[in-house]
Amino acid sequence: MGGDFGPHCIVPACISCLAEYTSLHLVLVGQSSLLESLIARYPGVDRARLRIEHAGEIIAMDERPAQALRGKPDSSMRISLELLRNGAAQACVSAGNTGALMALSRYVLKTLPGIDRPAMVTAIPTQAGFCHLLDLGANVDCSAEHLYQFAVMGSVTAEALGTVRPRVALLNVGTEDIKGNQQVKLAASLLQQAEGLNYIGFVEGDGLYRGEADVVVCDGFVGNILLKSSEGLAAMIAGRIEALFKSSLAARMVGALALPLLRRLQGELAPAQHNGASFVGLQGIVVKSHGAAGPEDFKSAIRRALREIEEDLPQRLHGRLGEHLL
Amino acid sequence: MGGDFGPHCIVPACISCLAEYTSLHLVLVGQSSLLESLIARYPGVDRARLRIEHAGEIIAMDERPAQALRGKPDSSMRISLELLRNGAAQACVSAGNTGALMALSRYVLKTLPGIDRPAMVTAIPTQAGFCHLLDLGANVDCSAEHLYQFAVMGSVTAEALGTVRPRVALLNVGTEDIKGNQQVKLAASLLQQAEGLNYIGFVEGDGLYRGEADVVVCDGFVGNILLKSSEGLAAMIAGRIEALFKSSLAARMVGALALPLLRRLQGELAPAQHNGASFVGLQGIVVKSHGAAGPEDFKSAIRRALREIEEDLPQRLHGRLGEHLL
C-alpha cells in the first residue's frame, strides 16, 4: 500500500514480473477489495501464483516510525514482514515509509547475531562500473563499530552479487591516516586488523566516482547526502544540457541524439529510485523501492529481491559474520 | 610556494592580475631567487606594485598541520600570514596545504570574538544560481554550536557578496523536524531562536542543487564529501558524454557543439578548484586556491580576495556576530 502511487504502481509491476518469472509466487498485502479490483484488469493472470493477504491499516509516508511500530498492528507493512518471518514468503518488497520499514523490520525480523543495526545499501555507477554504498540513511549516528559492521556486510553483499574479493574502503575527507572524524579513524584501525576482508583504506568523494573501491562505507547521514546530492546534480546537469539543446534548430537535432543517453545517465544516478536498496543485517530479505518509483522501478526492486533469494543473502551473511565480527 | 605547480602557476597569475587591476599591489612570499627568475620573464611588469618577500622554508602538501605550526617559523605560508596580521597586506591567497593553512591562520591571525573555529566556504552552482556551502572540510567534528556559528558566518558572507536576506538552511537527511543526527537537530533548535537570520529549516542533498537555499550549512566532513563527490560525478558524466560523442562521425560533429558547454559545466561544478574558497571567522582575509589550480584558477582566488577586501568582510562579520552569537 506504500509509495506515492500505492497499488496503482505495484499491481502492474507484479503482473509483469509474474509473466517474466514463471516460478515466481507473489503475495500482495493490503486492502483486498482495492487489490482485487486492480487485478481484475488483467484477466490472463495466473492467480495460483498471485495471492492477496488482507491488511486493514496503512502506514502513511510521513508517519513516525515509533507510531507505525506501536499503533498499527494490522498495517500492510507489518503483515508483510510477519509473512516473511513465518516462512510464508522469502522476501519483502515495499515502496513505503523508509523509517517505518526499518523500524518494523528490526522489530519483526530481528538483526543477525553480531549486528547492532541493519544498513541500507545500493549500487551506484562509477567510471569503472559500480560500487556498493552503505549506509544510505538508516543510521544517522554511527560509532566506529557500526561502520566496521557495515564494511563486513557490504563486502559479503558485493561478493554474493558477483564481485570477486571486493575492495572495501571507508569514505573520508582525505586518504592519509591522520584525516577524518573520530569514528572514521577508529573504524580504520578496526578494519586494518580484520582478516579476510580486502580493506584498501580511505576513499574520497571523487575517488568513489572514479571507481577506486567496490564497497564504500559511511554513516547514514553522509550516505544519504551523497546519494541525494548526486541525484540533484545529475538532474541539474541534464536540465542544463537539455536547455542548451533546445536553443536552436541545429541544436535541437543534436539533442535528439544526445538526450536518450543523458536520460539514461540520470536514471543510473538515481539508483535508489530505479534499482531499489536492500536492508542488510536482518534475518530476512527486505528491499526498499523508492517512494516515487513507477512500475518499471518497482520491478527492479522485485528482481533485486529475487537475486538475494537465489544467493540466500541473509544466510550467507550469517555464515561470514562469525569470521569477521569482534 | 604551495600547490602542485608552485610559483610556476602563481607568478603568471599575479602578473596577469596586476595588469587587470591597476591599483592592485602584490607581495610574493617565497624563495626570492626562484621568484626573481620567474618574474624576469615579464620585463613589462610594474615592479613598484610587485614586491618579493623572502621565505626560506616551504610547507609540503602532505605535511601535518602540527608540524607546519611548530617546526617551520620561516615558511612562505607563515610569513604571508604575518604580513597580513601586521597590516603589510590586506589578504593572503595560497594554493598550499589546506590543513596547514588553516592551523597557521588560526594561530597567527586568531579567530573573531565569539567564533571557536573558522570555516571554509565557497559558492556552488544550483538550478537557481548558486549557494554558499560551508564548512568544506576545515572542521570534521562539529557540535551544534559550531554549526550555528557557521550559519551566522555564511549568512553574513552571502550578504556581503550580494545576496539580499539570504535563506539559510541546515543540510539534512530529511526536512521533517525528527530527521537528522544529534548535532543537526540541536543546531536547528538554536537557529529557530536566532533573530535577524533568515533560517528556513532543513534542506536535502537534492534540494541544495534545486536552489532551495542561499546558504547551506553542514560539518566539514559532510561538506567535503558533497563537494568532492560532486566534482567526481560531474567528471564522470562529462567523460561518458564525451565517449558517446566520439562513437561515430556524426556524433563527433554533434560533440563539437556540445563539449564546450559540458566542459564549462564541469568547471562550474569544481568550484573549490576554480573559484577558490574563503576561510571565514578569522581576523583577516584568507583565500585558499585549489592545489591543482592553474593560473586562471589562481587569478579567480585573487579576485575573490579583492572582493572580500572591498566588502571588508572580517569587519562586517565582526559587527554582525555580536547580534547573533549566544
Question: Which CATH number is B263's domain given?
Answer: 3.40.718.10
Q: Is residue B7 part of a domain?
A: no
Model confidence at A142: pLDDT above 80:
yes
Q: Is residue A146 part of a domain?
A: yes
pLDDT tier, A269 (very low <50, low <70, confident <90, very high otherwise): low
- Considering only CA atoms, which of B157, B152, B162 is closest in space to residue B198? B152
Segment A152-170 mean pLDDT: 94
Q: Is residue A60 part of a domain?
A: no
Cβ of B205 within 8 Å of Cβ of A222? The answer is: no
- For A208-221, the DSSP string reads HHHT--SEEE--HH
pLDDT tier, B271 (very low <50, low <70, confident <90, very high otherwise): low
Q: A263 at the B interface (CB within 8 A)?
A: no
Q: Is residue B115 part of a domain?
A: no
Q: Is residue A293 part of a domain?
A: no
Cβ of B182 within 8 Å of Cβ of A234? The answer is: no
Which range of residues forms the domain containing residue A226?
119-273
Burial of B287 per CB tally in 10 Å (0-12, 13-18, 19+) = buried
Q: A225 at the B interface (CB within 8 A)?
A: yes
Q: Report the range of poorest mean pLDDT among A48-57, A262-271, B246-255.
A: A262-271
Model confidence at B326: pLDDT above 60:
no
Q: B251 at the A interface (CB within 8 A)?
A: yes
Q: Is residue A24 part of a domain?
A: no
Residue A166 contacts residue A134 (beta carbons within 8 Å): no
pLDDT at residue A326 in the model = 52
Model confidence at B286: pLDDT above 90:
yes
B98 to chain A: which residues are within 8 Å by CB? none
pLDDT at residue B323 in the model = 75
Q: Is residue A249 part of a domain?
A: yes
Residues sharing a CB contact under 8 Å with residue A227, sequence separation 6 or more, in sequence order: A122, A124, A133, A136, A137, A271, A272, B205
Cβ of A230 within 8 Å of Cβ of B227? The answer is: no
Q: Phi first, then psi: what are they for A7, rounded to 5°?
A: -65, -15
The per-residue pLDDT of chain B, averaged, comes to: 90
Q: A124 at the B interface (CB within 8 A)?
A: no
Name the residue of chain B whose CA is nearest to A171's CA.
B225
pLDDT tier, A243 (very low <50, low <70, confident <90, very high otherwise): confident
Give the three-state DSSP class for A326.
coil
- For chain A, give the number of residues: 326
B28 alpha carbon, distance to own chain's centre = 20
Model confidence at B211: pLDDT above 60:
yes
Domain count, chain B: 1
Cβ of B205 within 8 Å of Cβ of A230? The answer is: yes
Model confidence at A210: pLDDT above 80:
yes
Cβ of A225 within 8 Å of Cβ of B230? The answer is: no
Cβ of A209 within 8 Å of Cβ of B141? The answer is: no
User: H or E stretch including B11?
Assistant: helix B7-20
Report the distance separating Cα B269 and Cα B126, nearest Å: 9
Model confidence at B264: pLDDT above 70:
no
Model confidence at A270: pLDDT above 70:
no
Q: Report the range of poorest mean pLDDT among A265-279, B9-23, B45-59.
A: A265-279
Q: B241 at the A interface (CB within 8 A)?
A: yes
pLDDT tens-digit readout, A45-56: 999 999 999 999
Q: Is residue B319 part of a domain?
A: no
Segment A207-217 mean pLDDT: 97
- For B152-193, the DSSP string reads HHHHHHHHHTT-SSPPEEEE-S-SSTT-S-HHHHHHHHHHHH
Assigned C-alpha cell, A180: 577524518
Q: Report the range of poorest mean pLDDT among A50-59, A266-275, B167-176.
A: A266-275
Model confidence at A64: pLDDT above 70:
yes
Q: B250 at the A interface (CB within 8 A)?
A: yes
pLDDT at residue B28 in the model = 98
A231 to chain B: which residues are within 8 Å by CB? 205-206
B182 to chain A: which residues are within 8 Å by CB? 141
Model confidence at A76: pLDDT above 80:
yes
pLDDT tens-digit readout, B126-174: 999 889 999 998 888 899 999 999 999 999 999 988 899 999 999 999 8
Cβ of A233 within 8 Å of Cβ of B233? The answer is: yes
Segment B184-202 mean pLDDT: 94
Cβ of A258 within 8 Å of Cβ of B237? The answer is: no
- For B277-326, the DSSP string reads EEEESBSSEEEEPPTT--HHHHHHHHHHHHHHHHHTHHHHHHHHHHHH--
pLDDT tier, A256 (very low <50, low <70, confident <90, very high otherwise): confident
pLDDT at residue B314 in the model = 94
Give the three-state DSSP class for A27.
strand
Segment A244-261 mean pLDDT: 70
pLDDT tier, A78 (very low <50, low <70, confident <90, very high otherwise): very high
Segment A137-153 mean pLDDT: 92
Nearest by CB: A176 against B62, B184, B250: B62
